[in-house]
Amino acid sequence: MNLEILKQAVLDSRDGITISEPRGGANPLIFVNPAFERMTGYAFEEITGIDCRYLQRDDRDQPGIAVIRDSIAAGEYCLATLRNYQRDGTMFWNELSISPIFGDRGDVTHFIGIQKDVTARVLVEQQLIGKNRSLEENAGTLELMAMTDGLTGIHNRRFFDTQLGIQEKIARRNGTALTLILVDVDHFKAFNTHYGHPGGDGVLRAVAHSLNQSFTRSSDFVARYGGEEFAILSIGLSAENAGRFADALCRRIRSLRIPHEGAPGGLLTISAGYAVHTYTDAGQAARLVERADAALYRAKAEGRDRCAGEV
């Protein structure tokens, strides 16, 4: 198989992928993919060269840790679920599988780790089992809720702000473009006035779901930015493709054919403003937001139900 295809598959994987080397009882990381950075909040530069045991912090009394330690010592495959902690201290449940890679002489040269964030699944399982959870375990639910918009079920502004910094680092290191698309539901106040707040809430959920279903790559995500506004981040889009994607989003929402008597065309629509930037220096994310916001303002000023770009 073409090595470039394999490389792209690893970089676009929704799961965190790590490669480590066994060295004197430790297993320092030599590679992590972008999904691992997004999952943990740690940048590539911060975590390569050290053992990923830092993800458990002081929470070392976990059965899964012993399973992993014994399997690595024996050079065997293992699967364990651990309480891990992101860079900002947020706990998440990590389903970790580790597979040994053997050299020509039969010795283990590397370990491949596959990381899955299974927080939602574990919390549901805990509820079904009906265990009396401690305040510490309940904190996991609160942390998950803190990153999720309660109305629409997608990511919230806090998650977006965290990921914007992470995505900027990834884009800067790889020399790739970072695209931000800001979306605003057209004439939303008029919709609320005519159909009531329950109708408005239903529309926000429908728009959020439709936007969330539009992605094909793990690096893309949508968050509720505030009110009737949504934000979309994507790595690696060219300016031309960003424009096509933003226009497709407008058509996607229009195709829902949600009635809106307060809109000129009688249907619910959105306006989108996008900005594309290839990073060379740190700390430019705020400028990307400003440019996308200016593009959104222009799309609305030009009549809504359209996109505009700042490239």
Residue 93, CA atoms < 13 Å, CB-side half-sphere: 18
Q: In angstroms, rounded to a whole number, what is the distance separating the alpha carbons of residues 38 and 108?
A: 28
Q: Is 46 one of the catalytic residues?
A: no
In sequence order, what are the beta bridge partners of 128? none
CB 259 within 8 A of CB 266: yes
Smallest CA-to-CA distance from 306 within 270, 266, 262 is with 270
**Which residue is it, tokens 């840790």?**
65
Choose, from 37, 168, 228, 229, the residue flagged as catalytic: 228
Element (DSSP H or E) covering residue 7: helix 3-12
* Contact (Cβ atoms closer than 8 angstroms) between residue 307 and residue 250: yes
| 84, 16 Cβ separation under 8 angstroms | no
Cα three-residue angle 45-49-50, rounded to 5 degrees: 105
Contacts of 177 (CB under 8 A, 6+ apart): 171, 235, 236, 237, 238, 239, 276, 277, 278
* Tally of CB atoms within 10 A around 52: 22
User: Which 3 state secondary structure label does DSSP give 215?
Assistant: coil
CA distance linking residue 113 with residue 91, whole number of Å: 19
CA-to-CA distance for 300 and 125, rounded, in angstroms? 45
Q: Say how many C-beta atoms besides its own lie within 10 A of residue 101's C-beta.
A: 12
| Residues with catalytic roles | 228
